[in-house]
Amino acid sequence: MPAALPAPDANALQHSARLSALIGEEIGQSGGSIPFSRFMERCLYAPGLGYYSAGSTKFGAAGDFVTAPELGPLFAACVAEAVAPVLRQLGPDAEFVEIGGGSGAFAETALKRLLQLDAMPARYAILEPSADLRERQRERLARQLTPLVFDCIEWLDTPPATAWNGVLFANEVIDALPTPRFVLRDGEVFEECVAIDADGGFARVDRPADALLAAAVRHVERDLQRSFADDYRSELLPQLPYWVQAVIGGLRDGAMLFVDYGYPRGEFYLPERDAGTLRAFYRQHVHNDAYRWPGLQDLTASVDFTALAEAGTGAGFELAGYCSQASFLLGNGLAQRLQEVQARGDEALSLKFANEAKKLTLPTEMGERFQAMGFVRGVEFGAAFLEGDLTWRL
Ligand SMILES: C[S@@+](CC[C@H](N)C(=O)[O-])C[C@H]1O[C@@H](n2cnc3c(N)ncnc32)[C@H](O)[C@@H]1O
C-alpha cells in the first residue's frame, strides 16, 4: 500500500464508498468474484461514479496525470502535420475520428493546425464514452474555435457504422481499456479476479482462465518462444483485435494512428516484469494499488505494441510505421514549430515551448516511453514515419 498519497476529502471518500458498494454487490451476485477487467471497467466507467464518468479534474497539473496534448499545442500540431497528407489524398469528404477526446485540448490544436495546412476534414468526430468529458470538450471547443470550425465537430455514441474515409486517432486510450490480468500456476493459465476479504475490502483471487484468455496467453508464449514461469503475472487484451475492428466501424480507405505508452512484446513480457504493468494514477502520484479508492484514481496498463500491430494488420491495414514519440514528433515538424515561436521574439513563449518539447521528447520524460504506431489502407502517410523506425523490434 503506498504511504504518501494525499488523502481525498470526505465527499470524495463518500463517492468512492458508493462505487465500492456497487462493485461489492456485483461481486456478491457473481458468486463471490469478478474478473479484474470488470473491476477496472467499473472503476473507470460505472455511470456517474467511475473515474472517467464522474466530474473530477483528471487532466493537467491540477488533476491526476498530464497527457501530451495537455502540455501545450506542440503534440497536436505535429500529429496534424503527419495526417494532413492523408486527408488531402482522400479529398474533401475525408473525416477525422478521435477516440477518447479527454479535455478537448487535442481537438482544439489539431483543428486549428489542419485549417492552416489546408487539410480540414469534412467532419471531426469524437467518440467519447464519458458524458462528463463530452460536455467539457463541447464547452472548450465552442469557446476556442470559430463557429465555422466548431460546426464540423460531432460527438459519436458509437463508432461510425456507415462507410467513411479518413483518419482515426487515439492518444492514451488503449492503456485505459479494461484489461484482463493472468497468472501462471503449475503451468496452467489463471485469470486474476477480485473478491471481498474478511474485512470487507477488495482482495485478489485467481480462477482458471476461460478459453479466450488462455489461448491468448499461449499465443504470446509461442510468439516469444518461451513459456511464462509459475507465478508470472501480467496483463493481456485478448479483445484488442475486436476493439480495433469496432472503433474503425466503416473505415474504408485511410489511416489509423495510435500513441500510447508501452513496449514491443519481447519487452512487455520480460521475465523480470513479473508483476505486470498495471498502474494507478492519483494526483500526480503513480503507484500499483489498484484497489485504493475506486473511482478516484485512474487505472492503466501499458500497450503491447506487437499485439496492436497484429490487431491493425488483422483488420486489413498495412503497418505504416512504429517509432518513439520523440522520433515521431521530430519527424513531423517539432523543430520547425519551435523555430517559428523563436522567430516571433517572445522569449517567455519560446521558453515555454522549449520546456514542452523537452517533456515530449526526452527519454527520461515521455520521449521513449510513449510510442506512435500508424496503419494505412489505400493511402500513404508520406514522411510521417521516416524517423527512428522501430518496427524491427515488434
Ligand atoms: C487517458 S485519457 C486520454 C485523453 C486524451 N486522448 C488525451 O490524450 O488527453 C483516456 C480517454 O479515452 C476515453 N476512452 C476510454 N475507453 C474508451 C473507449 N473504449 N472508446 C472511446 N474512448 C475511450 C476516456 O473517456 C478518455 O477520454
Residues 205-229 have pLDDT tens digits of: 999 999 999 999 999 999 999 999 9
| Residue 61 confidence (pLDDT) | 72
Strand pairing partners for 193? 35, 205
| Residue 342 confidence (pLDDT) | 94
Whole-number Å distance between alpha carbons of 132 and 98: 17
> What is the model's pTM?
0.96
Q: How far is the CA of 345 from the centre of ligand 1 (A)?
A: 36
pLDDT tens-digit series, residues 121-164: 999 999 998 888 999 999 999 999 999 999 999 999 999 999 99
Residue 189 lies in a domain: no
Direct distance between the N- and C-terminal alpha carbons of the chain, in angstroms, rounded to an integer: 34
Q: Which atom of ligand 1 is nearest to the CA of 259?
A: 8
C-alpha distance from residue 335 to each of 83, 367, 388 (Å):
17, 14, 16
Residues with CB under 6 A from ligand 1: 52, 59, 67, 69-70, 99-102, 106, 127-130, 133, 171-173, 176-177
Q: How far is the CA of 179 from the centre of ligand 1 (A)?
A: 14
Pocket test for ligand 1, best of 173, 242, 300 (most atoms within 8 A of CB): 173
Taking Cα atoms as reference points, which of 212, 303, 228 lies closest to residue 263? 303
Q: How far is the CA of 172 from the centre of ligand 1 (A)?
A: 7
Whole-number Å distance between alpha carbons of 145 and 224: 48
**DSSP strands (E only) in 147-225:** 153-156, 163-171, 181-185, 188-196, 202-208
| Residue 283 confidence (pLDDT) | 85
Residue 15 lies in a domain: no
pLDDT tens-digit series, residues 10-66: 999 999 999 999 999 999 999 999 999 999 999 999 999 999 888 666 777 777 778
Instruction: Please enumerate, as own/partner, the contacts of 62-68 that have beta carbons within 8 Å and a separation of 24 or more.
Output: 63/283, 64/281, 64/282, 64/283, 64/284, 64/297, 64/298, 65/281, 65/284, 65/298, 66/284, 67/102, 67/105, 67/171, 67/172, 68/171, 68/172, 68/259, 68/325, 68/360, 68/366, 68/370
**What CATH number does residue 92 fall under?**
3.40.50.12710
Phi, psi of 153 (to 5 degrees): -90, 140
Taking Cα atoms as reference points, which of 119, 50, 38, 128 lies closest to residue 298? 50
| 174 secondary structure, DSSP code | G
Q: How far is the CA of 347 from the centre of ligand 1 (A)?
A: 34
Strand 163-171 vs strand 250-263: parallel, antiparallel, or unpaired?
parallel
- Backbone dihedral region of 382: left (phi > 0), alpha (psi from -120 to 50 degrees) or beta? left
Residue 331 lies in a domain: yes
Residue 216 lies in a domain: no
Q: Which atom of ligand 1 is nearest to the CA of 103?
A: 9
3-state helix, strand, coil in the chain (%, to 5): 40, 25, 35
Q: How far is the CA of 128 from the centre of ligand 1 (A)?
A: 7
| Grid coordinates given for 277 | 504493468
Residue 181 lies in a domain: no
Residue 178 lies in a domain: no
The residue whose C-alpha atom lies closest to atom 14 belonging to ligand 1 is 100
Residue range of the domain that includes 160: 68-173+241-265+311-393
| Residue 4 confidence (pLDDT) | 78
Q: Which atom of ligand 1 is nearest to the CA of 243?
A: 19
Residue 323 lies in a domain: yes
Whole-number Å distance between alpha carbons of 307 and 304: 5
With a CB cutoff of 8 Å and minimum separation 6, the contacts of 263 are 302, 303, 304, 305
Residue 284 confidence class, pLDDT cut points 50, 70, 90: confident
Name the one residue in this structure whose C-alpha cell is 455514441: 157
| Residue 2 confidence (pLDDT) | 56
pLDDT of 3 above 60: no
The domain tally of the chain equals 1
Whole-number Å distance between alpha carbons of 150 and 74: 21
pLDDT of 1 above 80: no
For residues 323-334, one letter each, b for 16 or more C-beta atoms within 10 angstroms of the residue's C-beta and e for the rest, the string is bbbbbbbbbbbb
Residue 125 lies in a domain: yes
Q: How far is the CA of 225 from the centre of ligand 1 (A)?
A: 33
What's the length of the chain?
394
Q: How far is the CA of 53 from the centre of ligand 1 (A)?
A: 11
| 226 secondary structure, DSSP code | S
| Residue 212 confidence (pLDDT) | 96
